[in-house]
């Protein structure tokens, strides 16, 4: 796991995660273009149900209040959506703190 410039997992950071092309040289290995254009929605839904309920880290574009602890965040702070709180949470709450 590599950390981004914000100090979090790069794959979870909406600002720093690597971009991915829709079609890659490895497309054939994973079932071909048909699987990408016609995904198995039931399998994707099952994957989502096994998730931790936390969205990707994003850079706050506005001042706000954490739904988890009530602390304020400012523009530029790292926040993420938490399904359990039905809203955005601060870095501490989003990291399990």
Per-residue pLDDT tens over the stretch 48-62: 666 678 888 899 999
Instruction: State the pLDDT confidence band at 46, using cuts at 50, 70 and 90.
Output: confident
* Distance set, CA 73 to CA 17, 19, 62 (Å): 22, 27, 8
Q: Where are the domains of the chain?
A: 10-94
Beta bridge partners of 28: none
Question: What is the pLDDT averaged over residues 68-82?
Answer: 93
Instruction: State the pLDDT confidence band at 96, using cuts at 50, 70 and 90.
Output: confident
pTM of the model: 0.52
Angle at the Cα of 78 (from 76 to 79), degrees rounded to 5?
A: 120
* Distance set, CA 69 to CA 47, 63, 91, 92 (Å): 28, 15, 11, 9
State how far the Cα of 37 lies from the Cα of 15, in Å rounded to an integer. 25
């Amino acid at each position: 796991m590599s950390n981004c410039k914000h100090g979090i997992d790069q794959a979870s950071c909406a600002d720093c995660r690597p971009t991915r092309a829709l079609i890659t040289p490895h497309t054939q290995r994973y079932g071909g273009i048909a699987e990408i254009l016609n995904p198995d929605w039931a399998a994707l839904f099952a994957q989502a149900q096994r998730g931790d309920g936390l969205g990707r880290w994003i850079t706050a574009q506005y001042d706000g209040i954490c739904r988890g602890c009530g602390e304020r965040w400012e523009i530029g702070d790292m926040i993420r959506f938490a399904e359990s709180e039905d809203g955005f949470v601060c870095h501490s709450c989003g990291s399990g703190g």
